[in-house]
Amino acid sequence: MWRRRPAAEVGRSALHRGPRKTGPARVDRRIRYFDTAISHTYADSQTIIGKALREVRDDIFITTKVDFWNLARPDGRIEKVDRKEAARQVDMNLSGLQSDHLDALLIHGTPGVEQMPVGQCLEVREELGRARDQGKVRFIGFSAHHYFDKALALISSGAFDLCMLTCGYLPRGQSRLLSPGTTELRNACLAEAHELTMGLVALKVLGAGMLGASS
Protein backbone atom coordinates (compact mmCIF):
# COMPACT_ATOMS: atom_id res chain seq x y z
CA MET A 1 0.00 0.00 0.00
CA TRP A 2 1.26 3.49 -0.83
CA ARG A 3 0.46 4.74 2.67
CA ARG A 4 3.21 2.56 4.14
CA ARG A 5 6.01 4.05 2.08
CA PRO A 6 8.54 6.33 3.79
CA ALA A 7 7.19 9.76 2.97
CA ALA A 8 7.77 13.45 3.47
CA GLU A 9 5.98 16.38 1.93
CA VAL A 10 7.66 18.89 -0.33
CA GLY A 11 5.16 21.70 -0.78
CA ARG A 12 5.15 25.34 -1.68
CA SER A 13 7.53 26.52 1.09
CA ALA A 14 10.33 24.19 -0.01
CA LEU A 15 9.95 25.31 -3.60
CA HIS A 16 10.83 28.91 -2.73
CA ARG A 17 14.39 27.60 -2.70
CA GLY A 18 14.07 26.43 -6.31
CA PRO A 19 14.09 23.05 -8.02
CA ARG A 20 17.68 22.02 -7.25
CA LYS A 21 16.71 20.54 -3.88
CA THR A 22 13.54 18.90 -5.17
CA GLY A 23 14.99 16.30 -7.57
CA PRO A 24 16.29 12.74 -7.53
CA ALA A 25 18.53 13.46 -4.52
CA ARG A 26 15.42 13.67 -2.37
CA VAL A 27 14.23 10.34 -3.74
CA ASP A 28 17.63 8.80 -2.96
CA ARG A 29 17.01 9.84 0.65
CA ARG A 30 13.77 7.84 0.53
CA ILE A 31 11.37 10.75 0.18
CA ARG A 32 8.56 9.33 -1.90
CA TYR A 33 5.59 11.66 -1.30
CA PHE A 34 5.31 15.08 -2.95
CA ASP A 35 2.40 17.49 -2.52
CA THR A 36 1.57 20.28 -4.94
CA ALA A 37 -1.29 22.24 -6.51
CA ILE A 38 -1.95 24.54 -9.44
CA SER A 39 -2.22 27.48 -7.03
CA HIS A 40 0.98 26.74 -5.08
CA THR A 41 3.89 29.17 -5.54
CA TYR A 42 2.15 31.26 -8.18
CA ALA A 43 1.56 28.20 -10.40
CA ASP A 44 5.29 27.33 -10.52
CA SER A 45 5.03 24.33 -8.20
CA GLN A 46 3.66 21.94 -10.82
CA THR A 47 6.32 22.83 -13.40
CA ILE A 48 9.19 22.61 -10.91
CA ILE A 49 8.13 19.23 -9.52
CA GLY A 50 7.30 17.82 -12.95
CA LYS A 51 10.69 18.77 -14.39
CA ALA A 52 12.72 17.75 -11.35
CA LEU A 53 11.10 14.33 -10.86
CA ARG A 54 10.25 13.11 -14.34
CA GLU A 55 13.20 10.67 -14.37
CA VAL A 56 11.95 8.98 -11.16
CA ARG A 57 8.21 9.36 -11.75
CA ASP A 58 7.46 5.65 -11.30
CA ASP A 59 9.20 5.62 -7.90
CA ILE A 60 7.28 8.46 -6.25
CA PHE A 61 3.76 9.42 -5.21
CA ILE A 62 2.47 12.85 -6.24
CA THR A 63 -0.63 14.48 -4.78
CA THR A 64 -2.14 17.51 -6.48
CA LYS A 65 -5.46 19.36 -6.41
CA VAL A 66 -8.29 21.07 -8.27
CA ASP A 67 -9.23 24.60 -7.17
CA PHE A 68 -12.64 26.28 -7.13
CA TRP A 69 -13.08 30.01 -6.46
CA ASN A 70 -15.76 32.39 -7.69
CA LEU A 71 -13.96 35.59 -8.71
CA ALA A 72 -17.27 37.49 -8.72
CA ARG A 73 -17.62 37.15 -4.93
CA PRO A 74 -15.24 38.37 -2.20
CA ASP A 75 -15.64 35.10 -0.29
CA GLY A 76 -15.21 33.02 -3.45
CA ARG A 77 -18.43 31.08 -2.86
CA ILE A 78 -19.37 28.82 -5.75
CA GLU A 79 -22.90 29.21 -7.10
CA LYS A 80 -22.80 26.31 -9.57
CA VAL A 81 -20.14 23.67 -10.16
CA ASP A 82 -18.56 23.89 -13.60
CA ARG A 83 -17.85 20.25 -14.43
CA LYS A 84 -15.87 21.23 -17.51
CA GLU A 85 -13.56 23.26 -15.27
CA ALA A 86 -12.87 20.19 -13.15
CA ALA A 87 -11.96 18.18 -16.26
CA ARG A 88 -9.82 21.06 -17.56
CA GLN A 89 -7.83 21.19 -14.32
CA VAL A 90 -7.21 17.45 -14.39
CA ASP A 91 -5.54 17.83 -17.78
CA MET A 92 -3.69 20.96 -16.63
CA ASN A 93 -2.24 19.03 -13.70
CA LEU A 94 -1.11 16.22 -15.98
CA SER A 95 0.54 18.67 -18.35
CA GLY A 96 2.29 20.68 -15.63
CA LEU A 97 3.60 17.56 -13.90
CA GLN A 98 4.65 16.01 -17.23
CA SER A 99 2.94 12.78 -16.24
CA ASP A 100 0.38 10.44 -17.76
CA HIS A 101 -1.37 9.94 -14.39
CA LEU A 102 -1.94 11.57 -11.00
CA ASP A 103 -1.42 9.38 -7.94
CA ALA A 104 -3.86 11.36 -5.81
CA LEU A 105 -6.11 14.22 -6.86
CA LEU A 106 -7.79 16.25 -4.13
CA ILE A 107 -10.49 18.88 -4.07
CA HIS A 108 -8.43 21.72 -2.61
CA GLY A 109 -9.54 22.81 0.84
CA THR A 110 -9.00 26.49 0.09
CA PRO A 111 -9.84 27.43 -2.59
CA GLY A 112 -12.39 24.65 -2.98
CA VAL A 113 -14.10 22.82 -0.12
CA GLU A 114 -14.34 26.02 1.92
CA GLN A 115 -16.16 27.72 -0.96
CA MET A 116 -18.68 24.93 -1.63
CA PRO A 117 -21.40 23.09 0.30
CA VAL A 118 -21.07 19.34 0.66
CA GLY A 119 -23.38 18.65 -2.29
CA GLN A 120 -21.22 20.64 -4.68
CA CYS A 121 -18.08 18.92 -3.42
CA LEU A 122 -19.70 15.60 -4.28
CA GLU A 123 -20.49 16.92 -7.77
CA VAL A 124 -16.79 17.64 -8.26
CA ARG A 125 -16.01 14.19 -6.86
CA GLU A 126 -18.23 12.66 -9.53
CA GLU A 127 -16.29 14.45 -12.26
CA LEU A 128 -12.97 13.34 -10.78
CA GLY A 129 -14.34 9.81 -10.80
CA ARG A 130 -14.68 10.06 -14.57
CA ALA A 131 -11.01 11.01 -14.77
CA ARG A 132 -10.15 7.93 -12.72
CA ASP A 133 -12.24 5.76 -15.04
CA GLN A 134 -10.09 7.13 -17.88
CA GLY A 135 -6.90 6.09 -16.11
CA LYS A 136 -5.79 9.65 -15.35
CA VAL A 137 -6.15 9.42 -11.55
CA ARG A 138 -5.47 6.64 -9.03
CA PHE A 139 -6.96 8.00 -5.78
CA ILE A 140 -9.48 10.78 -5.09
CA GLY A 141 -9.66 12.89 -1.95
CA PHE A 142 -10.00 16.37 -0.46
CA SER A 143 -8.13 18.65 1.91
CA ALA A 144 -9.40 20.79 4.78
CA HIS A 145 -7.65 23.52 6.76
CA HIS A 146 -10.58 23.79 9.20
CA TYR A 147 -14.36 23.61 8.32
CA PHE A 148 -14.24 20.11 9.73
CA ASP A 149 -18.04 19.84 9.75
CA LYS A 150 -17.87 19.64 5.95
CA ALA A 151 -14.87 17.35 6.13
CA LEU A 152 -16.72 14.93 8.41
CA ALA A 153 -19.69 14.85 6.04
CA LEU A 154 -17.40 14.17 3.06
CA ILE A 155 -15.57 11.42 4.91
CA SER A 156 -18.85 9.83 6.01
CA SER A 157 -20.10 9.83 2.42
CA GLY A 158 -17.67 7.03 1.64
CA ALA A 159 -16.93 8.66 -1.73
CA PHE A 160 -13.25 9.46 -1.12
CA ASP A 161 -10.10 7.39 -0.87
CA LEU A 162 -8.12 9.80 1.29
CA CYS A 163 -8.25 13.16 3.05
CA MET A 164 -5.65 15.74 4.03
CA LEU A 165 -6.43 17.45 7.35
CA THR A 166 -4.70 20.15 9.40
CA CYS A 167 -2.83 18.27 12.10
CA GLY A 168 0.26 20.32 12.88
CA TYR A 169 2.66 20.48 15.77
CA LEU A 170 3.57 24.15 15.22
CA PRO A 171 0.78 26.72 14.68
CA ARG A 172 1.57 29.92 12.78
CA GLY A 173 0.98 32.21 15.76
CA GLN A 174 -1.70 32.19 18.44
CA SER A 175 -4.39 33.31 15.99
CA ARG A 176 -3.92 30.03 14.12
CA LEU A 177 -4.62 27.74 17.07
CA LEU A 178 -7.69 25.54 16.67
CA SER A 179 -10.37 26.00 19.32
CA PRO A 180 -11.17 23.01 21.56
CA GLY A 181 -14.44 22.50 19.67
CA THR A 182 -12.73 22.59 16.29
CA THR A 183 -10.01 20.23 17.51
CA GLU A 184 -12.67 17.81 18.74
CA LEU A 185 -14.38 17.91 15.35
CA ARG A 186 -11.07 17.38 13.58
CA ASN A 187 -10.40 14.37 15.79
CA ALA A 188 -13.83 13.01 14.90
CA CYS A 189 -12.80 13.28 11.24
CA LEU A 190 -9.63 11.31 11.94
CA ALA A 191 -11.55 8.62 13.79
CA GLU A 192 -14.18 8.27 11.04
CA ALA A 193 -11.53 8.16 8.32
CA HIS A 194 -9.64 5.48 10.25
CA GLU A 195 -12.84 3.48 10.67
CA LEU A 196 -13.44 3.62 6.91
CA THR A 197 -9.76 2.72 6.24
CA MET A 198 -9.24 5.93 4.30
CA GLY A 199 -5.79 7.28 3.56
CA LEU A 200 -4.82 10.15 5.88
CA VAL A 201 -2.35 12.94 5.14
CA ALA A 202 -1.34 15.44 7.83
CA LEU A 203 -1.49 19.10 6.74
CA LYS A 204 0.44 22.03 8.27
CA VAL A 205 2.58 19.66 10.35
CA LEU A 206 5.40 22.22 10.65
CA GLY A 207 3.36 25.40 10.69
CA ALA A 208 2.87 25.78 6.93
CA GLY A 209 6.50 26.50 6.16
CA MET A 210 7.14 28.61 9.25
CA LEU A 211 10.56 27.00 9.79
CA GLY A 212 11.56 27.23 6.13
CA ALA A 213 10.53 30.87 5.94
CA SER A 214 12.84 31.79 8.82
CA SER A 215 15.90 29.99 7.43
Q: Cβ contacts of residue 18 below 8 Å, gap of 6+?
A: 48
List domains and CATH numbers for the chain. 2-214 (3.20.20.100)
**Residue 1: is its pLDDT beyond 50?**
no
Q: Predicted confidence band at 26 (pLDDT cuts at 50, 70, 90)?
A: low
pLDDT at 178: 78
CA-wise closest residue to 197 among 148, 142, 147, 158:
158
**Residue 68: is its pLDDT beyond 60?**
yes
How far, in Å, CA of 91 to CA of 99, rounded?
10
pLDDT at 206: 72
Q: Where are the beta strands (DSSP E) in 36-193?
A: 61-66, 102-107, 137-144, 162-166
pLDDT at 210: 56
pLDDT at 179: 81
pLDDT at 170: 62
Q: Predicted confidence band at 212 (pLDDT cuts at 50, 70, 90)?
A: low
Q: Predicted confidence band at 201 (pLDDT cuts at 50, 70, 90)?
A: very high
- DSSP annotation of 146 reads S
pLDDT at 13: 47
How far, in Å, CA of 176 to CA of 18, rounded?
27
CA-wise closest residue to 36 among 59, 52, 56, 20:
52
Q: Predicted confidence band at 15 (pLDDT cuts at 50, 70, 90)?
A: very low
**Residue 11: is its pLDDT beyond 60?**
no
Dihedral (C-alpha) 65, 146, 200, 187: value to the nearest 10 degrees?
Answer: -170
- Model pLDDT for residues 94-153, shown as the tens digit of each residue: 999 999 999 999 999 999 999 999 999 999 999 999 999 999 999 999 999 989 999 999
pLDDT at 38: 85
pLDDT at 2: 37
- Model pLDDT for residues 29-56, shown as the tens digit of each residue: 678 899 999 887 656 888 889 999 989 9
- Model pLDDT for residues 162-182, shown as the tens digit of each residue: 999 998 766 555 456 778 888
